[in-house]
Structure 1
Amino acid sequence: MKKIISSIMILFVLLVGCGSNTESNADGTNDETTTLTVWVMGSDDHWKTYHDDLIERFEQENKNIEVEVDYIPWAEGENKLVTAATNNRLPDVTTIAGRWTPQLVAMEAVEPLDSYFDEAFQESFVEGAWNTTQYQGSTWGLPIGFTTTGLFYRTDWLEDAGFNSPPTTWEEFVDVAKAFTAEDRYGFGLVGSNGMETTMFWAPFLWSNGGELLNDDLTEATFNSPEGVEALEFYTDLLLTHKVAPEGSINYGRGDSQDLFVSGAVGMTTVGPWFPKTLAQQAPEMEYSIAPYPVKKESANLGTADHIIMSKQSENKETAWTFMEFFTNEENDMKWAEYQGFIPYHKANLENDPRKDDPEFKVFFDVAPDAVVYPTMPEWPQIDQAIADAIQESLTGTKTPQQALDDAAEKVNLLLAK
């Protein structure tokens, strides 16, 4: 019997030894490799080139970590993430649109990060970008891809129309848009499709008029306030009354507005800091400049950030954090900002980036510290859709701005009451 037990123990030891990837070195360390699974939202070649390089540099610095990366098209991202979270199949780490993060948090699929960093780490990030990662008193990701937006306008058209400066108020904006509008062109590339990009175009006008999307404790819609109704009346009048936007605007997304500006079909659009690179490539002779959004009562600008998050189910959490730290460090923040045309999310980079003195980028840097961000909550995608639907209903004349926003607020309040 003792011989049998002894033989089993020897066999067990041999099997364990054969199954291990560990080889002890002279200094007591080992060469065991940890495989980290990573999803990156975005699948075009430009996107892949940057992230392939980042991962290669990470693996060079961390010889015992191997990264397996999958690139996910943005259009498929939300459904793929939710499905994976439902089935406990998320990767160790994934990049994600900031508006999706709370939804995965509510599914208990995201690892809270507060225990992984100290106060100095948090303080190194731009406040507006960092705030997008906060929900219910915890940190659920690290900011990446921080952007603000500005008003792009044709300087040659402005001069020809007799204006000395870009519009700074709503009234001036309408005057300039009217002056830009002619038989073969329009003043503003308005966005009206019933999707998130329509809310993005309209929200700064709401904030500029002193309105808010929701109340302070995020329990009730406030976008149908008098300030909100006035902001939607203004936005709707651009299309239906002043006729300074193309007739097809109710079907246009942000990309359509940009394309119209590039082609010379509209004289103004609102875009982020990546757009100058596009203009340099596609319309190098264009005369344009960038200004803040026109103001009704107070300056307002949309700030957005993507996130990088850790899966709660990950069995490699310390390794995942090592990757996330590298991904978002000051060096890679600056590399990504320059490569993609984004705004740095580290305070030091925001202050030292030479682009802040470039006329093409100065506006984005000026508004970054005080940029307004969307509410962080799992219901936001549905709220965003309700607002976009209301804007389109107003633009088509199906409902008055008041009716459209009131109906949307009723839907949102029912959602928030659950």
Structure 2
Amino acid sequence: MIGLNRRQALQATVAAGGLLAAPRIGLRAQGKPDKLVYIGENQGGWKRVLMEEVAPAFEKETGIRVEFTMLPVDAWRARLKTELGARSSGIDIAQWSVGMAGYMSPHLLDHEEVVAKISARDPDFDWGDFLGGSKRAATYDGKLSGIPYRITTGILHYQKPLLERAGFTGAPGTFEEFLKVAQAVNSPPDRYAVGIMGKQGSGSYTSFASWLFSAGGQLVDFRTGEIFINQPKAVEALQFYGDLMAKHKLVPPEATTWEFDEIIAGGQRDRYVMAQTFAPYGTLINDPANSRTAGNWAWDVVPGHTEKEQSRTWIDGHFMAVPRYTRNADWSMEFIRMACSKDWMRRSMERGNAPPRGSVLRNPDLVAKLGWPPVAASAIETGIPTPAHPAWDTLEHALRTGVSATLLGQKSAKEALDEVAADWRRSLRRAGVGR
């Protein structure tokens, strides 16, 4: 579906991914609502196909409008917690990510049953095509709690011609090599070496996590309550990361305001040479229609600490789920079935998504066009999932403060992470972890 325009996409929906011509189990009996309410987050451009193409196709076929309420990350999580906690029937489709599984799962249908219903309606849905890792990420405490729509990880994005001009034939494989390359390609104030999501916010964790895990650092053991975030390997990782900005001045000063959209825009505007960020952002950063750096970008796994083989990064994903309390469950399933079909997921990958279907990620045309999918696949194999314990949201907020203080040079990594660890101990005690 390379180069598919909107009209062709709508036609393809009728032919392949649209609503089934045969009678659909439960849909007629349930009745047809005027709309379905979808609650999601508004960061990044990877939902454009979902909102701009799939939803209109669904409305054309069913007459049902999909009303999207897309919120900043923290507001999105709070909205879902509040409404689902109150057993509200006002949400028909809930979008959630890995770290939310602990508190979301009790409010969602068992999606093994959802898959069974979808597969009965549409044998071509092919649940076996979804990567096993995406299914594990969608599972909490043995319950499949959503249908994967996006599975992503952090990789190294770099402008290959600029590295070659500085005498480097490939991507840096270790922390030391990364610093050496960064110092060689840094050319402020027009272009800096490294882009980061430096705002104290929801992007803080993913910007730091690949450094943490590649250095051999850990977060916390939720079974025992043992805290690792202020141990030497974690401290070394944060100090290295913080020094890129505070000491070496390799990061654009405005990166302290950057989150998801800004890291993309910074790459498009040629504000940096390298970034460790979401794999599918490569599509948007390298987009000839929007990026002055299009054609320059290449991809590799993130650097390891002292050897490339030590490279480790984070894994996350987004899932579509049917809440237990919706009155329109069967229509919600039908929208999810369409959105997660092979054709629509292939289309979504062209516009910045990272679909969980193996057939899409391995599509030769898309691999040739986009470049980053095989790198993402390698990273996912050894990546570490975002914690899914209900206490993680509280801990992650405290970690943001420590990371930000180190980036700004206000505290050493040791001072910052000791404070984070102390905060975590209090939070874990309140959550009943480790007692």
Alignment of 1:137-216 (within 5 A): 137-184=142-189, 185-215=191-221
Alignment of 1:65-84 (within 5 A): 67-75=64-72, 76-84=75-83
Counterpart of 1:348? 359
Q: CA deviation at 1:254?
A: 4.0
Answer with 401-410 or 265-274: which moved more: 265-274
Counterpart of 2:249? 243
Counterpart of 2:4? none
Instruction: Evaluate the alpha carbon distance shift between residue 399 and residue 178 of structure 1 in structure 2; reply closer, same or farther with a 3 A threshold.
Output: same
Counterpart of 2:13? none
How far does the alpha carbon of each residue in 1:265-302 deviate from its partner, in whole angstroms, 9 at most, with x for none? Answer: 32212333233334322334553322221111512233
Unaligned runs of 5+ in 2: 1-22, 120-124
**Helix, strand or coil: the match of 1:275?**
helix
Counterpart of 1:288? 297
Counterpart of 1:232? 238
Contact 1:148-1:304 within 8 A present in 2 as well:
yes
Counterpart of 1:113? 111
Contact 2:39-2:76 within 8 A present in 1 as well:
no
Contact 2:36-2:93 within 8 A present in 1 as well:
yes
Aligned equivalents of 1:148, 1:88: Cα separation in 2: 32
Contact 2:285-2:293 within 8 A present in 1 as well:
no
The alignment's TM-score, normalised by the length of structure 2, stands at: 0.77
How far does the alpha carbon of each residue in 1:344-396 deviate from its partner, in whole angstroms, 9 at most, with x for none? Answer: 20223333353234563242343344433201122222222111111112223
Counterpart of 1:261? 267
Letter of the 1:127 counterpart:
G
Q: CA deviation at 1:56?
A: 5.0
Aligned equivalents of 1:178, 1:251: Cα separation in 2: 23
Q: CA deviation at 1:172?
A: 0.6
**Helix, strand or coil: the match of 2:37?**
strand
Aligned equivalents of 2:397, 2:69: Cα separation in 1: 23
Q: CA deviation at 1:128?
A: 2.8
Aligned equivalents of 2:30, 2:155: Cα separation in 1: 49
Contact 2:268-2:293 within 8 A present in 1 as well:
no
Unaligned runs of 5+ in 1: 1-24
Answer with 194-203 or 73-82: which moved more: 73-82
Identity of aligned residues (%): 21
**Helix, strand or coil: the match of 1:187?**
strand
Contact 1:221-1:409 within 8 A present in 2 as well:
yes
Instruction: Evaluate the alpha carbon distance shift between residue 80 and residue 31 of structure 1 in structure 2; reply closer, same or farther with a 3 A threshold.
Output: closer
Aligned equivalents of 1:81, 1:248: Cα separation in 2: 31
Q: CA deviation at 1:99?
A: 3.2
Aligned equivalents of 2:202, 2:41: Cα separation in 1: 18
Q: CA deviation at 1:174?
A: 0.1
Q: How many equivalent residue pairs?
A: 385
Instruction: Evaluate the alpha carbon distance shift between residue 96 and residue 242 of structure 1 in structure 2; reply closer, same or farther with a 3 A threshold.
Output: same
* 1:277 counterpart (274, 284, 289): 284
**Helix, strand or coil: the match of 2:87?**
coil
Q: CA deviation at 1:170?
A: 0.7
Counterpart of 1:130? 135
Q: CA deviation at 1:234?
A: 0.9
Instruction: Evaluate the alpha carbon distance shift between residue 370 and residue 170 of structure 1 in structure 2; reply closer, same or farther with a 3 A threshold.
Output: same
Answer with 321-330 or 237-246: which moved more: 321-330
Counterpart of 1:93? 93
Q: CA deviation at 1:207?
A: 0.9
**Helix, strand or coil: the match of 2:194?**
coil
Aligned equivalents of 1:194, 1:301: Cα separation in 2: 20
Instruction: Evaluate the alpha carbon distance shift between residue 388 and residue 124 of structure 1 in structure 2; reply closer, same or farther with a 3 A threshold.
Output: same
Aligned equivalents of 2:292, 2:246: Cα separation in 1: 33
Give 1 or 2 for the bigger CA radius of gyration.
1
Instruction: Evaluate the alpha carbon distance shift between residue 394 and residue 47 of structure 1 in structure 2; reply closer, same or farther with a 3 A threshold.
Output: closer
Aligned equivalents of 1:273, 1:142: Cα separation in 2: 19
The alignment's TM-score, normalised by the length of structure 1, stands at: 0.80
Contact 1:301-1:371 within 8 A present in 2 as well:
yes
Q: CA deviation at 1:60?
A: 6.8
Instruction: Evaluate the alpha carbon distance shift between residue 306 and residue 357 of structure 1 in structure 2; reply closer, same or farther with a 3 A threshold.
Output: same
